[in-house]
Amino acid sequence: MKKHILKFTLIALIFVAGSCDEYLDINHDPDVLGTTDAPEIILPSAQVNLANNLMGWDLGFGGGYWNQYWTQSYTASQFKTLCEYQETSFQDAYQGLTAGTLNDLKRIKSLSADPDNLGYYYIAEAMEIFTWQLMTDLWGDIPYTEA
């Protein structure tokens, strides 16, 4: 009797372990975009990423305080470092521009290099030039070919 229980348990274990690949893959959200090869889908993401970096914490919010567009009450301490003109590292802005915006624009250029339809290529090229110009204005000389 023990042999039959052991065989049945072994067969059930092999069946359950071998059939779990697709059954447990149920958490796919149909509203989330996966990988794409369409530059018209990637372009708005690159534009929003660039805008968020320009108006985000490092450049937009910190710049607004430093240019005295707004301030806070003397007794408030939420943005005390900004009101005291203490420098920040700007690491998030640099990383967002290089790893986010410039990578998206490079992908758009590689996907839209078709000679018949170069519209997205030219848009990505203009935005890439603007992003590099913005970065060199902010941080000075930036390695272009070594980056």
The answer to whether residue 60 sits within a structural domain is yes
The answer to whether residue 21 sits within a structural domain is no
The answer to whether residue 145 sits within a structural domain is no
Question: Cα–Cα distance between 51 and 49 in angstroms, integer?
Answer: 5
> Domain of 86?
36-139
Round to the nearest angstrom and report the end-to-end CA distance of the chain. Answer: 69
Q: Which residues, in sequence order, are CB contacts of 78 under 8 Å at separation 6+?
A: 72
Domains held by the chain: number = 1
Tens-digit pLDDT profile for residues 73-112: 777 777 777 777 776 667 788 888 999 999 999 999 999 9
The answer to whether residue 25 sits within a structural domain is no
pLDDT at 131: 95
Instruction: Count the alpha carbons within 13 Å of 87 in the hemisphere toward its beta carbon.
Output: 3
The answer to whether residue 55 sits within a structural domain is yes
The answer to whether residue 1 sits within a structural domain is no
pTM over 0.85: no
The answer to whether residue 30 sits within a structural domain is no
- Complete DSSP assignment for 102-145: IHHHHHHHHHT--TT--HHHHHHHHHHHHHHHHHHHHHS---SS
Top mean pLDDT of 1-10, 43-52, 89-98 is at: 43-52
pLDDT at 12: 73
More confident residue, 22 or 91: 91
The answer to whether residue 120 sits within a structural domain is yes
∠ CA(40), CA(46), CA(49), 5° rounding? 145
